[in-house]
Structure 1
């Protein structure tokens, strides 16, 4: 049902590749996200939480470099460990937060010189503008649903994104102590569609702002389009909600492989959450960005 729609939408939907390095290790953690273009002028939309990683990538590393520079002053100090802990607290350096974030836009535009990023004030939505580029590397642009009354429970829709980071073109450079992109290695990450039906509208302050889907959005699909069999855009994937079903089984005896075992299970229903098409169009209009409607 979605074969032709996926072929159409995939032309203007692109992955964002990330690599992360965390404090105390040299391991590189790859990640992905998704964006899609709304016109031929280099304007795309994605999630606000994705755009923030791009916006703050430089300041995260600068903060770590300042921490490391101050820590060097105490290398021969008997109280080095104490000073390190104090500096970790001051600069908010923890093993849970990355100290280095690099990103790479895949087949978006050729040789852009700058980015403009606009964050929505309340919704998980952002606009990315590629500036001063030589040429676009995507084809076509999104066509948004004009009549949002068609966003109804039970409507069968699809999402497209890049949830599985299969790229390998990166390394940890021991000489510099930093992570970096390579020209060698696998650069592509395959797209992955997931279908479902609209289950509920999500509202805030008497306004419908989101669409709930019967199936979860996968990590890396954040920022990907939600579309119908004609390729019309109904929204954008942002997150997955975990609904507790209440069918808890606590210390229940079961027979598995011929053995009696005690198990506990707390089932949840994972549903997708998308930004509503009306929210997207309103934000584009507020920023005077050209887009196309159909229907």
Structure 2
């Protein structure tokens, strides 16, 4: 059902590899997904993928403050004294180095907009060329989006992401064998619309989301939720766990354990909200036209 749709979506969907290094030297990496929207290199992804960068900025400010305090203490040390002033120790988990890898070497982002409340990020790729993408996405007409519609999502879960930090160049290197990352699609249906009661503080948007019968997986955040034509329906951002009300009892090591059972459902930013935000930021994108022919669509500028 989704074979042709996946072929289309894979052309404009890319992995985002996030790497960090902390004071104690620990290198960590994770993966998300982003959508290349147009030939200008604008991309769409989940806002929470920028959380580590925000922490990095905060940690670097703390490190600078600590270093300045320690330097002042050292300057006040009495010459010949047997003891030196106590110094403040850095938190070993403060981030000292951070990197985004946007699906290819030499690509960076500019003109970044992040709305963490809605969980959306827009950015423009610096170094992008239009020929890097064979086909750009078409967004589904929001008026045709109804519960019960067959949908699919994709991204890069279950990938063994590993990076190393090069002290000489002060940069991260993706280990051999990690790339290329395999896509992983999982299908389902549009179960419900989720409208949060409050409007977003920034932009005063109606916070509208699509709930799906299957969960989003780690590595699919920021990736497309699409219909059988490969048209963008929503963007994956979260997985909710709905209690089923079943409490079976299982035996483990001679003990009775009550197990609570849940239904895991995906949550994606609704296509209507995605399109509204892109229009407000004057980003061009393609939308389904009134005709059933896929070649006919409206370009919103």
Q: Residue in 2 aligned with 1:100?
A: 97
Pick closer, same or farther for the CA change 1:67–1:190 going to 2, 3 Å. Answer: farther
CA contact (8 A) 2:111 2:124 kept: yes
Structure 2 Cα separation of the partners of residues 278 and 100 of structure 1: 37
Quote how far apart the aligned CAs of 1:171 are. 1.5
CA distance in 2, matches of 1:183, 1:135: 28
Contact residue 161 and residue 220 of structure 1 kept, 8 A: yes
For 1:139, the equivalent position in structure 2 comes to 134
Counterparts of 1:171-210 in structure 2 under 5 Å?
A: 171-173=164-166, 180-181=172-173, 186-205=178-197, 207=206, 209-210=208-209
TM-score by length of 1: 0.79
Are 2:12 and 1:3 equivalent residues in the alignment?
A: no
SS at match of 2:222: coil
User: 2:43, 2:97 → 1: CA distance?
Assistant: 25
Which residue of 2 is the match for residue 289 of structure 1? Answer: 283
Deviates more, 1:239-248 or 1:7-16: 239-248
Pick closer, same or farther for the CA change 1:21–1:244 going to 2, 3 Å: farther
Work out the number of aligned pairs and report it.
273
Q: Deviations over 1:103-145 (max 9, x none)?
A: 11114xx745651111237411111112354555222111011
1:84-123 equivalent positions in 2, closer than 5 A? 84=89, 93=91, 95=93, 98-107=95-104, 111-112=106-107, 115-120=110-115, 122-123=117-118
Q: For 1:69-102, what per-residue CA distance to the aligned partner results, in whole angstroms no more than 9, with x for missing partners?
A: 347657974744xx33xxx5xxxx474x644322
User: Hey, what's the Cα distance between the residues in 2 that align with 1:153 and 1:37?
Assistant: 26
Deviations along 1:173-194, one digit per CA (max 9) or x if unpaired, are 4678x66225855332211111
Distance 1:261 1:31, change over 3 A: same
Sort the Cα spacing of 1:113 and 1:34 in 2 relative to 1 into closer, same or farther, 3 A.
Answer: closer
Map of 1:63 onto structure 2? 61
The answer to whether 1:18 aligns with 2:8 is no
Q: Is the 8 A contact 1:164 1:189 kept in 2?
A: no
TM-score, normalisation: structure 2: 0.78
Match of 1:236 in 2: 235
Please state if 1:220 is matched with 2:219.
Answer: yes
In structure 2, C-alpha distance between the alignment counterparts of 1:123 and 1:212, rounded to whole Å: 15
Q: Which runs of 4+ in 1 moved over 6 A?
A: none
Kept in 2, the 8 Å contact 1:64–1:99? The answer is no
What SS does the aligned partner of 2:147 have?
A: coil
CA RMSD, aligned part only? 3.1
**Match in the other structure for 1:40:** 39
Which residue in the other structure is 1:150 paired with? 144
| Structure 2 gap segments, 5+ residues each | 75-82, 199-205, 290-301
* Structure 1, unpaired ranges of 5+: none
